[in-house]
Amino acid sequence: MSYYQLPTEGITSITREKAKNDILSFLKQLDVDVIEVGKCTANVEIRKGYTVYIYPQDLANVQNQLKSFIENECKPRGISKLFVWPVIEGNYRYIFIGFFENKINVEGLLYLYEFIVGIP
C-alpha cells in the first residue's frame, strides 16, 4: 500500500489538540464509546494500521482509515468501546486508538489491537 502526501507548501499544520478533538468527534459520530486514558498495555500489541494527521487535508484519509478499522477489526469482534491515548516516542507524537480482545487466549496472553495516527 502506498501513501501519497499532497504538497504542503504554504499550508499550516494543525494543532495536537485539534487532531485529538477531530478524531474523538469522528469516533463518536460512528456510535463508538470512546474512553480517553493515559496508557494501555497488554502482553501483545497488534498494530492494525497507521496514518498521519498533520495538515487539514489529511482528515478525510484519517476518517476513512478509522472507519475501515472499526468495520474490519472492531465490529467482527463485537467491540463497541475504544480506548484513546497519547504516545510520545522521541520527537514523534501519536494518538493510539485500540481495544482489548474480549478474552485471554490459550497462552494466557492479553491482546491489544491498535490503530495509530501520527500527529504534529
Span 9-37, pLDDT tens digits: 668 899 999 999 999 999 999 999 999 99
In a domain, 87, yes or no: yes
Note down the domain range covering 92: 33-119
Query: Are 5 and 35 in contact, with CB atoms under 8 Å apart?
Result: no
In a domain, 1, yes or no: no
Question: Cα-atom radius of gyration of the chain, to the nearest Å?
Answer: 15
Q: How far apart are CA 86 and CA 59, in angstroms?
A: 18
pTM for this prediction: 0.87
In the prediction, which pLDDT does 4 show? 61
> For the chain, what is the domain count?
1
Q: What is the pLDDT of residues 33-74, one digit of tens each?
A: 999 999 999 999 999 999 999 999 999 999 999 999 999 999
Q: How far apart are CA 116 and CA 58, in angstroms?
A: 14
